[in-house]
Structure 1
């Protein structure tokens, strides 16, 4: 689902709903922007087949307008009510102050629980900073309100310079939702980045998320996206990939097949017009001629066409059309280590691209498309590429761009 707060500066709420639904999401997380006319907003959700199982509700409203909060849950179908943050002037400065706040939250949790609803706290960075006695505000809040759940904002944990896995593990039984966003200080988006397009390694985070017993929602959020369609598209592509990759598997499957072709235009016409494949991108040589063209079969399988095949006729049937096999791996270092332990020797390409040759090391290199790779040969010399796809590389960037264009 998508946190609707993400769209506040770039789109109306209904425009955001259109793009969220078009991108293939099935739900949203609400915020104060959706509370003016909940019955009307519920109709907008229903028109697009979207649910709102949870929402951010200001603490002031929870304490002073509890009846209105309950009306919101009924109209919008909200099950989990989440306290989103505290303005700076309202944040306690001592352990006792945070404990008192936790006791207030405990009262709210009890009232919601009596009505069959859940209550959670959403963190920023300030709850993770140690107080003079060494304790953190989030520890104190969760202790003082033992029935309250936690919506972990992984982006704010990263922003605080801390390890998300440590927090996810420490409170595994209390976590019911996570906000997944990345950080990148050099962006024009207040230091935030789309999931997988920042500076963080997400593999351990997703492995930990899979083990959380009560986790019910992965939430897409970006505090300041300049392009909302880009954000929801990239997030979905990255999330779908990170959710299935497993480091305990050596291989994830085939990514592409490569054909060396003599007449690129004719071949492109056939694969696009007849087969229905779509060109995703092409890479140039230094002289600006075409090095390769990448055609999409689906979001995880591709066909590469390399121009420059020699000869008037196709090779004999035993070699017709084949160039190499590529296998996607979650961790190329680990996979190469496993293969070498089994006796494989890794390979590098000759400078003239006439073939690959065995070397003693790992032969891990960075490809032109921004992905790490290594190569091996089978006993008959067939070439096999091992590719660790980079979320910020050309393949996943093209996927996100395609989805972003389709929902505008």
Structure 2
């Protein structure tokens, strides 16, 4: 199956459209059959369930905040099951909540492993989504992302190729090293320096600086089943969604 046939779009990219159903209508028109919801939408789980059915779309993976994952794991798992989600992903932690040393990241990983056992009991996968800070070395030379994966050996990784690049790391090296733990891939592109400043320096997938030919080959060699396009701050969501899907369809 080609990647485009199982491609999701992270709904955070479409948040500038104020009505959730309008987001679904646009993405359906552009040919998307899958979406990746994010934390705020779970306050409206009934509406999300209705729209997934109405537009005959699936949400195979979803971003769910650390507070829900650790604070109400069982209820989170049940909501995910109801929505047809297969992979629960922790997407982000605020700067003030981040561990400051290796021991802190190890302790967080141990907590995630416990939560992962609950998701596994319900037949769900569990993964962590990176930003740049997990790929910045700690004082002992180790990386938070490595420490999380080692401390939570049953947890997978949703690797964000754009943020790995923003951290001045080689995404192919990380794809190769952790290929057995990578369960999902965020396809995100980075604009050339000085360009797209009104969009946070991000680019539409295939229209930035990343070498997608090599990245796609490396990504296909991982254990990833889920592929998600994302742009953190598009000034035209229809343009981004259309061009991203066209790019992926060309692979």
Counterpart of 1:151 in structure 2 is: 158
1:222 aligns with 2:231: yes
Larger radius of gyration: 1
Alignment of 1:114-153 (within 5 A): 114-153=121-160
- Is the contact made by 1:10 and 1:227 (CA closer than 8 Å) also made in structure 2? no
Per the TM alignment, residue 54 of structure 1 is displaced from its structure 2 partner at its CA by: 1.2
User: Which string of whole-angstrom CA distances, capped at 9 and with x for unpartnered residues, describes residues 261-297 of structure 1?
Assistant: xxxxxxxxxxxxxxxxxxxxxxxxxxxxxxxxxxxxx
Counterpart of 2:243 in structure 1 is: 234
TM-score of the aligned structures, taking structure 2 as reference length? 0.93
- RMSD over equivalenced CA pairs, Å: 1.2
Per the TM alignment, residue 11 of structure 1 is displaced from its structure 2 partner at its CA by: 4.0
- Is the contact made by 1:102 and 1:141 (CA closer than 8 Å) also made in structure 2? yes
2:207 to 186, 191, 197: 197
- Is the contact made by 1:38 and 1:75 (CA closer than 8 Å) also made in structure 2? no
Q: Select the structure that is richer in helix.
A: 2
Q: Select the structure that is richer in strand.
A: 1
Per the TM alignment, residue 114 of structure 1 is displaced from its structure 2 partner at its CA by: 1.6
User: Which string of whole-angstrom CA distances, capped at 9 and with x for unpartnered residues, describes residues 25-65 of structure 1?
Assistant: 11011112321232232111111110011111101111212
TM-score of the aligned structures, taking structure 1 as reference length? 0.58
1:108 aligns with 2:118: no
Task: Show structure 1 runs of 4+ deviating over 6 A.
Answer: none
Per the TM alignment, residue 19 of structure 1 is displaced from its structure 2 partner at its CA by: 1.1
1:58 aligns with 2:65: yes
User: Which string of whole-angstrom CA distances, capped at 9 and with x for unpartnered residues, describes residues 202-258 of structure 1?
Assistant: 11101112222x2111101110011110000000111111x2xxxxxxxxxxxxxxx
Higher relative contact order (CA 8 A, sep 6+): 2
- Is the contact made by 1:5 and 1:33 (CA closer than 8 Å) also made in structure 2? no
Per the TM alignment, residue 16 of structure 1 is displaced from its structure 2 partner at its CA by: 1.1
Question: When the two structures are aligned, how many residues end up with a matched partner?
Answer: 241
User: Which string of whole-angstrom CA distances, capped at 9 and with x for unpartnered residues, describes residues 320-366 of structure 1?
Assistant: xxxxxxxxxxxxxxxxxxxxxxxxxxxxxxxxxxxxxxxxxxxxxxx
